[in-house]
Structure 1
Amino acid sequence: MLYTIAFILGAIIIYSLFTYFYQKKIVKTLSEEEFKAGYRKAQLIDVREPNEFDAGHILGARNIPLSQMKMRMKEIRPDKPVYLYCQTSMRSGRAAQTLYRKGYRDLYLLEGGFKKWSGKIKTKN
């Protein structure tokens, strides 16, 4: 029993490390200042769910939730930079991996996600 728990914990740690380094290789994480400097010339995608998006999002962002990413990928051009964000950067990292597997290479994440954003936002009333 103890060996099983140790094995499972080891597998989780190895998987987490692999995902972390893989993500570092395929997507560039940008500070808020770097993100602000480039997102207007790129495709700005909010991968949170619609209710989160409606509560507040970065001005100019399109909402393509992670849960719909595979179905709506055609809406994202592979020849232009893609700036992704979510609430904390977890879902946007997974979205970047999905896009990378489909041939997208110019991928950027907002460090800390929307939670840390201090720039202009838009809400639906």
Structure 2
Amino acid sequence: MWKQLLAISLSFFFWVGGFTNLVANNSHLNQVLAATVSPEIEQAVDNFLTEIPRGFYGVKDVNEIERLVEKENAQLIDVREPLEYARGHILNAVNIPLRDLAKKQDKIATDKPVILYCSVGYRTAIGLATLHLLGYDNVLGYPPSVQGWKAAGKSLNR
């Protein structure tokens, strides 16, 4: 069920990109703006979205990360580029750049929680969606990422 939500999210993401191009080109704009969604579909989407559990796919703060690492041996994956990782990363995090996630699935745990992070959260969200679409149901994201880690007074390792 939750994988369908990710598919909807990605569809929306790509739709927004297409819509942006449409507006920039100003072609068929009136047709798009005039489109409506049937009440049945709107109700089905609303029902689906209201059933999503609080905190779905997310780690709320550094304390939760530390708890998951200590108690559940969670794997931390830094999805930034190697140069960014070398400048400082969360202790014990492995570096698998976003562009390599699908190719390096053998490096991603399937038997314990996996927490993704990046600089400010954008690549985390893309990585999270990617891994869920690939069938991982043990992956969480830490949207505040490195910026949130530093804001919480935590240091980075080199």
TM range (shorter): 0.7 to 0.9
Distance 2:116 2:100 in 1: 14
What CA distance in whole angstroms lies between the structure 2 residues aligned with 1:86 and 1:120? 15
> How far 1:115 moved relative to its partner?
1.2
1:36-82, CA deviations, whole angstroms, 9 ceiling, x for partnerless residues?
A: 22134111100000010000000100000001111111111222110
Deviations 1:9-52 (A, max 9, x none): xxxxxxxxxxxx79x88622321221222134111100000010
Aligned-partner residue type, residue 35 of structure 1? I
Point out where structure 2 has 5 or more consecutive residues left out of the alignment. Answer: 1-25, 34-48
Corresponding residue for residue 32 of structure 1: 62
* Alignment CA distance shift 1:51-1:29 (3 Å): same
Which structure's CA Rg is the greater one?
2
3-state secondary structure, aligned to 2:110: coil
Q: Aligned pairs, how many?
A: 112
- Runs of 4 or more, structure 1, over 3 Å off, are 5-8
Q: Is the 8 A contact 2:77 2:116 kept in 1?
A: yes
**Residue 110 in 1 paired to residue 110 in 2?**
no
TM-score, reference length from structure 1: 0.75
Asked whether 1:4 is paired with 2:29, we answer yes
Deviation at 1:4, TM superposition (A): 2.5
Q: Distance in 1 between matches of 2:118 and 2:139?
A: 14
1 or 2 for the larger relative contact order (CA 8 Å, sep ≥6)? 1
- The answer on whether the counterparts of 1:85 and 1:113 sit within 8 Å (CA) in structure 2 is yes
2:118 touches 2:146 (CA, 8 Å); kept in 1?
A: yes
SS state at 1:108 partner: strand
What TM-score, normalized by structure 2, do the two folds share? 0.60
Matched, 1:49 2:84: no
Q: What letter corresponds to residue 119 of structure 1 in structure 2?
A: K
2-structure distance, mates of 1:31, 1:25: 11
Distance in 2 between the 1:104 and 1:93 partners?
Answer: 14
Identity fraction in percent: 31
Q: Would the aligned equivalents of 1:30 and 1:108 in 2 still touch at CA under 8 Å?
A: no
